[in-house]
Chain A
């Protein structure tokens, strides 16, 4: 593990993003708060539509149309990037914060060579000359495990397999030694064996390079392999956050319980079935006034339907957004 220090690199505070569509305002991210330290690896877990990707696009200032930041702040390296002018933001993007995307098949421009696409970033953010840049690309390719870098860098994306393209994407993201790397489901679109290779590569890189990583995924198994801490997102909120141990061994939120139950186990008995979480995610145009998970929650109580749950500090650096935690305290108090 990279050495941790206590200086915080990133502070996201009550961050809100909405998409203004013809059907109405889709509240994709509804007040997200977290902190990330130098060298720390955080996993953000949740199903599609939970706002996990959108909240991280906010960090890059590349929220797609018609999305808008409507509240909160993001402090990166001491500066608020939500209010930063576009020109200054462009200096940070790709240099201090970089990103790997879900689908390597479509994330590279098909009509330019991969070398060209990495070179572009180096040209913009560094003072290296042409030869140095080429050397840097070769170095990066070696780092991410692409053979024959001198030849490969002059090839087009379609000449690479999915896994290799994701390696190119990683090389591209690492090109300018970023302080923060956002990996948006980097393994979802890949075959299982390739997934394992990419995870292995990311683990190696994490140890080699001292950078913070936000790892977005819907796969808790992947999280347990490389993250230091986890935030579980549901319907635009972080419903539970804590260390790997907290989340895996002492989860406090019913949604996290559901996620953990739905992880396939390799040593599972033949009859032990994967338990999916019943129901479909909520409509984010009209989010329920109570807890967004309540309609799917088997532990739902009357209050869950009408009132938003409070944030409960259930342990050191372990928070949960659930009325059950309140009930526990209530039972304790009234039992006295």
Chain B
């Protein structure tokens, strides 16, 4: 177990490192600097570049950046919030995104798993058909469509829910729903098909041949096996809620990390873009790691000592 964990953690750190390196060099490909604009003259720009060390050779900058990164220093914002550290910006805005994402994941699981179960158990009955139509449509409709239409209907036309911000509890409903809808449908589909697959396995036949009731066959023998794919989906799910959050934060005007990220893109604020990317990448990679370990715990076939 410990050996496996160490191996996985080393691999994860390596991947984060690669992500950081890619990010760094990609950002350096961009011609000009954050201080290039009509208003500043060349001398002022050079001075600013010198101040922030942007005039040094690229490998020096890279070394410096990685060195800082290891200390948890993501640099400071050049433009958007001048001289505020990126770590600070993430600290301020990420909890909002995390809260939103967390609720969305809970929502997706809480509805997706029962829906998938019902669809599989009532295969080809009306319940299954309704769930299938809904979930197929759900994974085909882009997040921004759901976000904007639900805002149009529930906030602007019916005026039941607030349009933007996260000031009151009710304002969470639309963002969480729109962010969680796609994963909910995805989980329902995933669970339905994995459950149907599990139901066709030989060990289900064995359990039936032992005289086990449908309940035991379904919830003891089929369920645990069919939850395995859902667990492996957890990693991508986190990635989805984080990046999908960008859209939701844009539509509902929520001051989370995503909105900062988009603003930083417009403003060419390198350090924020880089810092956010590395932070999110690390988060996603860590979640994948957790997911992997969880997967091994649920499925005893995988030998953790290998």
Contacts and interface: CB of A to CB of B under 8 A. Distances in A.
Direct contact between A and B judged by beta carbons closer than 8 A? yes
A111 B300 contact: yes
Contact of A172 (B202, B205, B208, B210): B210
Interface in B5-46: none
Interface in A193-214: none
A107 B301 CA distance: 14
B106 to A, nearest CB: 25
Interface string B264-306: 0000000000000000000000000000000000111100000
Contacts of A64: 200, 205
Given A107-B202, A109-B221, A98 B212 contact: no
Contacts of B211: 90-95, 121, 124-125
Nearest to B303: A158
B60 interface: no
Contact of B206 (A95, A108, A124, A158): A108
B300 A120 contact: no
B210 A62 contact: no
Nearest to B298: A111
B203 A120 contact: no
B209 interface: yes
A62 B209 contact: yes
Interface in A127-170: 156, 158, 169
Contacts, number: 78
Contacts of B221: 109, 112
A88 B299 CA distance: 34
Nearest to B216: A120
B209 A158 contact: no
A157 B297 CA distance: 16
A107 B208 contact: no
Contact of B301 (A91, A92, A103, A156): A156
A106 interface: yes
Contacts of A91: 211
A216 interface: no
B205 A107 contact: yes
B212 to A, nearest CB: 7
Contacts of A94: 209-212
B75 to A, nearest CB: 47
Contacts of A120: 207, 210, 212, 216, 220
B202 A106 contact: yes
Interface of A: 60, 62, 64, 90-95, 98-99, 101, 103, 106-112, 117, 120-121, 124-125, 156, 158, 169, 172
Interface of B: 200-203, 205-213, 216, 220-221, 224-225, 298-301
